[in-house]
């Protein structure tokens, strides 16, 4: 029998620091909910808006896979590995923190905010050499279907991480139906609605709702509005 966890948008943690307006699906910083610490190895799902010209100063991470998905604007990244890049909507960024890395993230623009998802996944290997990568997606590949954007395999589509996880993005017209079959039947799947609304089997989800499902092998995704966009994150349910 399948198990589910429904996290509607209005039940997320929220912190507005002026320069940063952040919604937390899972416990983060000053927001702590013992029933929402993680979904399997999915530890952080933050929905961040950074004011013009502002950002996160240099700070450390270790032993975490960190994925950034820009939604609007331009986010400038610098790190201790020597990378200095800008990511925009349509890009995917990944950083394996491993033995330790420091980085900063700033809104490159002085006249508009930047919006992005910051996602943390526990790795299945500790103390790996730090690594950085970013790619630009072909957005046509997510039109009315699921586009793979992340996997465990360096030679596969999208970026890769040190974990048995697969992420997909889909952008759907109203009424489009697609199936998602798990790559690993011991994993769970967490859905996050970026825009519009979808039904996952019979569960209706609206913008910024999250929905985790496990003990299943496949699911039906039905777009319920025009311009619906959903992020699908398949992750192991057991921490390593």
DSSP letter string, 28-66: BTTB--TT-S-BTTEEEEEEEEE-TT-EEEEEEE-S-EE
Phi, psi of 4 (to 5 degrees): -135, 155
Asked whether residue 89 carries a pLDDT value surpassing 80, the answer given is yes
> Residues 145-186: pLDDT tens digits?
999 999 999 999 899 999 999 999 999 999 999 999 999 999
Which among 59, 64, 48 has a CA at the least distance from the CA of 15? 48
Give me the CATH code for the 139-236 domain, please.
Answer: 2.60.120.10
What pLDDT is attached to residue 239? 87
User: What is the rounded CA–CA span in Å between residue 240 and residue 229?
Assistant: 31
Query: Under a CB-based contact definition with an 8 Å cutoff, are residues 209 and 193 in contact?
Result: yes
* Plot region of 140 (φ>0 → left; ψ -120 to 50 → alpha; else → beta): alpha
Positive or negative, the CA dihedral 83, 119, 162, 154 is negative
Residues of the chain with CATH 2.60.120.10: 12-136, 139-236
Q: Which residues contact 177 (CB under 8 A, 6 or more apart)?
A: 220, 221, 222, 223
* Gap between the Cα atoms of 162 and 12, Å rounded: 27
Nearest to 217 by CA among 176, 189, 237: 189
Q: Which CATH code of 3.90.550.10, 3.30.40.230, 2.60.120.10, 1.20.210.10 fits the domain covering 12-136?
A: 2.60.120.10
The pLDDT tens digits of the residues spanning 43-88 come to: 999 999 999 999 999 999 999 999 999 999 999 999 999 999 999 9
Describe the chain by its helix, strand, coil percentages, rounded to 5: 5, 55, 40
**Torsion angle of C-alpha atoms 179, 183, 188, 194, degrees rounded to 10:** -50
pLDDT at 1: 83
- Give the confidence band of 105 by pLDDT, cuts at 50, 70, 90: very high
The residue behind tokens 């995704």 is 221
């Amino acid at each position: 029998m399948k198990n589910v966890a429904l996290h509607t948008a209005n039940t997320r943690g929220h912190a507005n620091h002026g320069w940063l307006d952040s919604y937390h699906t899972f416990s983060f910083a000053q927001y702590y909910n013992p029933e929402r610490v993680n979904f399997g190895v999915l530890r952080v799902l933050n929905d961040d808006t950074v004011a013009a010209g502002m950002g996160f100063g240099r700070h450390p991470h270790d032993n975490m896979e960190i994925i950034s998905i820009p939604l609007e604007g331009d986010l400038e990244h610098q790190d201790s590995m020597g990378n200095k890049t800008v990511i925009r909507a349509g890009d995917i960024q990944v950083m394996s923190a491993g033995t330790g890395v420091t980085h900063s993230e700033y809104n490159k623009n002085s006249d508009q905010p930047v919006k992005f998802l910051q996602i943390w996944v526990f790795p299945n290997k500790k103390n790996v050499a730090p690594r950085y990568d970013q790619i630009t997606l072909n957005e046509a590949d997510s039109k009315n279907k699921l586009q793979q954007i992340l996997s465990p395999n360096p030679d596969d589509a999208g970026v890769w991480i040190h974990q048995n996880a697969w992420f997909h993005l889909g952008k759907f017209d109203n009424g489009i139906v697609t199936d998602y079959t798990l790559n690993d039947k011991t994993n769970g799947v967490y859905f996050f609605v970026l825009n519009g609304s979808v039904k996952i089997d019979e569960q209706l989800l609206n913008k910024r709702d999250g929905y985790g499902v496990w003990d299943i092998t496949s699911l039906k995704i039905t777009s319920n509005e025009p311009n619906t966009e959903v992020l699908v994150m398949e992750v192991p349910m057991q921490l390593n």
